[in-house]
């Protein structure tokens, strides 16, 4: 099994991570310059019809609580048979978030406007949060969230059901189930073709006296429209802290999550791991055995070391959908992370959200493909090409600064998937930023929403398009153009429109869990629908810039045909991530043949990385003597 490990160039202490430190790029990881307002791939970067979402979308409410989920976005938008879009969100009107409720609104196609100016409250009292939703076949909205059910720190998963379609008069919170001592929270929900309501929730193991960071994933269902629910059933005991759910046209249900890597030699788990799913073909009565779709692509564990980082799927960055032909697609972000343990109460699993790629798997693929492009490994530069250091922006994005915002950095996160009803294609969207100049005056990243499509089952993806394509460099509080925490309706009708809800964050970067006075902006909650114009309906497969000449495995030498129109580098690494050879690092005009002499290296697996200003290509070579 392939172990993708790499050794850091510096040994770090706990104090280093706690402070505003800029982590250098590790040995063996190729870094790219993030272009200013330019697409990574030629032909990409075109907005969807309507241009900027924030200029042409519809506002359905407001919230100061810009943070919407702990990870996986889930379904916060559904579209009914009349073309009306139902949205829900986590709402707070106070700087300190002393109130936290779930709100709901409906955009009507007939009036092209929302029914309520700022939405209606769907949750009861007291505090609620982290919502997803679905629609019954009769049109009533069902909203799920976790809800305070006892003392200030006691929460449980609940649903609220509208009295009639688009009325906005919801039931009191209905407890999903109470058969286990600690009730699951962070519920995700889907409703199948037979109106069975499926709910998942987590018991956060990190909160136990001896934390393990492996969550217990539970499942429950209702067959009577939410009046009652089955007992919680455990589906996994080593899950990450979030989950994705999907319903197929024939009524299959999928639940996907990330099995967190065990940290070697301990009972703790890391915040990355392997992608796993279970499936039901009988309305959730029984479930298949877990299927690990990244088996052989990532490793099996995280070394218990301050010095070693491992590539894996991020536990909080996952989504899934079925296409019109009942094929399951799972999307996630991966990144390099490390984990180490000192004792039962002091252990660490650090991650770099600004180092994500967006990955995708569907049955039949030899290995996962990369809708976002091969690399999101960037460092920021100014217009002159010099490195930027705004508030500790460095090779790895933005470190925790003075105010310790939970800041996204250069890269991509929050995948969402939607499928055409006719089975022709699947759309993949995510939040991210490759633009090194679009940074607020406070040093936070202004996120955009990006998208790509596949017309051949995930084998190839169209050029990445910047859907929102908004820019507010140097913006102050209240002036940011940052589109975050988006949710994509999982079906695309014959009109080819995507339906998206998101938070227009007027001060980019989450302000939750930090002193908020004066910086917690009243952010619009947006709905937008659009048809992609920057993504070809019948795209040609993106050809690689590298072609290996001859057979693989190789013995004495191997040659590569490469193509570039600017500076490029071609480097080869061994399985441990150590640089073995550099075939070129500089100007590379046009087509060239590069040859690597393998006589003096040991037999084994090696990896090549070809990087130009507009693309990357990676692959592996097996050397046998």
245-254 pLDDT per residue, tens: 999 999 999 9
Same domain, residue pair 436 and 561: no
Range scoring the smallest mean pLDDT among 132-136, 362-366, 490-494: 362-366
Shared-domain flag, residues 487 and 551: no
- Sequence-distant (6+) residues with CB within 8 A of 244 are 72, 74, 188, 254, 255, 256, 257, 318, 319, 320, 330
pLDDT at residue 55 in the model: 37
- The model's pLDDT over 70-115, given as tens digits with 9 standing for 90+, comes to 889 999 999 999 999 999 999 999 887 888 999 999 999 999 999 9
Range(s) of the domain holding residue 261: 5-73+234-530
Query: What would the mean pLDDT of 180-196 be, rounded to a whole number?
Result: 93
Residue 124: predicted pLDDT: 86
Interval 252-280: pLDDT, tens: 999 999 998 988 988 888 888 999 999 99
404, 260: one domain:
yes
Residues 509 and 576 in one domain: no
Confidence of residue 393 (pLDDT cuts 50, 70, 90): very low
DSSP per position, 592-620: EEEEEE-TTS-SEEEEEEEE-SS-EEEEE
Do β-strands 32-34 and 378-380 pair in parallel, antiparallel, or remain unpaired?
Answer: parallel
Instruction: Kindly tell me if the per-residue pLDDT of 407 is higher than 50.
Output: no
Kindly report which listed range (123-132, 274-283, 541-550) carries the lowest average pLDDT score.
541-550
Same domain, 519 and 561: no
Query: Does 55 reside within a domain?
Result: yes
Higher pLDDT, 588 or 126: 126
Question: What pLDDT is recorded for position 233?
Answer: 96
Last residue of a domain, one of 473, 499, 530: 530
Q: What is the pLDDT of residue 612?
A: 66
In a domain, 539, yes or no: no
The reply to whether 554 falls in a domain is yes
In this structure, are 598 and 483 located in the same domain?
no
Confidence grade of residue 336 (pLDDT, cut at 50, 70, 90) = confident
Contacts within 8 Å (CB) and 24+ apart, 596-599: 596/557, 596/558, 596/559, 596/560, 596/572, 596/621, 597/556, 597/557, 598/554, 598/555, 598/556, 598/557, 598/558, 598/623, 599/556, 599/557
If asked whether residues 271 and 360 sit together in one domain, one would say yes
CA distances from 346 to 10, 17, 238, 453 (A): 21, 14, 19, 43
Please indicate, yes or no, whether residues 402 and 426 belong to a single structural domain of this protein.
yes
Number of domains in the chain: 2
**Mean predicted lDDT score pLDDT of the chain:** 78
pLDDT confidence tier of residue 205, bands split at 50, 70 and 90: low
Region 558-579: mean pLDDT is 77
Indicate whether 486 pLDDT > 70. Answer: yes
Residue 494 and residue 599 in one domain: no
Is position 187 within any domain?
Answer: no
State residue 158 phi and psi, 5-degree precision. Answer: -140, 165
Is residue 613 predicted with pLDDT exceeding 70?
no
């Amino acid at each position: 099994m392939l172990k993708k490990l790499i050794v850091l160039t510096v040994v770090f202490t706990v104090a280093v991570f706690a402070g505003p430190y800029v982590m250098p790029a590790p040995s063996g990881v190729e870094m790219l310059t993030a272009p200013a307002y330019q697409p990574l791939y030629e032909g990409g970067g075109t907005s969807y019809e309507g241009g900027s979402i924030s200029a042409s979308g519809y506002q359905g409410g407001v919230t100061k609580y810009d943070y919407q989920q702990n990870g996986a976005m889930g379904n916060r938008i559904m579209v009914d048979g009349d073309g009306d879009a139902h949205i829900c969100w986590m709402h707070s009107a106070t700087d300190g978030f002393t109130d936290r409720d779930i709100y709901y609104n409906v955009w009507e196609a007939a009036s092209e406007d929302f029914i309520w100016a700022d939405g209606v409250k769907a949750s009861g009292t007291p505090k609620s949060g982290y919502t997803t939703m679905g629609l019954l076949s009769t049109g009533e909205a069902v909203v799920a969230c976790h809800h305070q059910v006892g003392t200030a720190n006691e929460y449980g998963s609940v649903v609220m059901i509208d009295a009639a379609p688009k009325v906005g008069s919801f039931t009191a919170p209905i407890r999903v189930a109470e058969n286990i001592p600690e009730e699951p929270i962070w519920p995700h929900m889907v409703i199948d073709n037979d109106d069975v309501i499926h709910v998942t929730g987590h018991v956060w193991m990190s909160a136990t006296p001896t934390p393990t960071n492996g969550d217990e994933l539970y499942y429950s269902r209702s067959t009577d429209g939410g009046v009652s629910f089955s007992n919680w059933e455990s589906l996994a005991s080593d899950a990450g802290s979030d989950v994705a759910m999907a319903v197929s046209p024939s009524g299959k249900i999928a639940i996907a999550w990330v099995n967190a890597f065990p940290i070697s030699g301990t009972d703790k788990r890391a915040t990355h791991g392997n992608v796993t799913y279970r499936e039901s073909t009988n309305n959730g009565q029984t479930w298949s055995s877990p299927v690990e779709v990244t088996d052989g692509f990532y490793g099996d564990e995280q070394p218990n070391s301050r010095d070693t980082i491992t590539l894996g799927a991020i536990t909080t960055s996952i989504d899934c959908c079925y296409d019109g032909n009942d094929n399951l697609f799972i999307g996630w972000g991966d990144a390099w992370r490390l984990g180490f343990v000192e004792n039962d109460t002091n252990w660490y699993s650090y991650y770099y959200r600004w180092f994500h790629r967006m990955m995708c798997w569907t049955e039949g693929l030899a290995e996962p493909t990369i809708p976002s492009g091969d690399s999101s490994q960037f460092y920021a530069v100014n217009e002159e090409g010099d490195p930027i250091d705004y508030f500790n922006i460095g090779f790895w994005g933005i470190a925790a600064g003075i105010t310790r915002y939970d800041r996204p950095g250069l890269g991509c996160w929050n995948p969402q998937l939607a499928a055409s009803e006719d089975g022709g294609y699947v759309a993949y969207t995510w939040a991210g930023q490759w633009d090194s100049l679009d940074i607020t005056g406070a040093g936070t990243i202004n996120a955009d929403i990006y998208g790509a499509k596949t017309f051949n089952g995930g084998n190839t993806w169209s050029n990445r398009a910047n859907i929102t394509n908004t820019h507010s460099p140097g913006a102050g509080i209240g002036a940011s153009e940052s589109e975050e925490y988006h949710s994509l309706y999982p079906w695309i009708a014959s009109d080819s429109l995507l339906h998206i809800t998101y938070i227009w964050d007027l001060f980019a970067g989450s302000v939750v869990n930090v002193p908020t006075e004066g910086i917690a902006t009243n952010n619009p909650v947006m709905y937008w629908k659009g048809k992609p114009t920057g993504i070809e309906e019948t795209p040609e497969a993106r050809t690689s810039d590298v072609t290996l000449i001859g057979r693989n495995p190789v013995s004495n030498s191997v040659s590569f045909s490469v193509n570039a129109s600017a500076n490029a580098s071609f480097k080869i690494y061994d399985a441990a991530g150590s640089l073995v050879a550099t075939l070129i690092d500089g100007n590379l005009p046009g087509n060239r043949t590069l040859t690597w002499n393998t006589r003096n290296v040991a037999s084994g697996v090696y990896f090549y990385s070809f990087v130009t200003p507009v693309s990357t290509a990676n692959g592996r070579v097996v050397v046998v003597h």
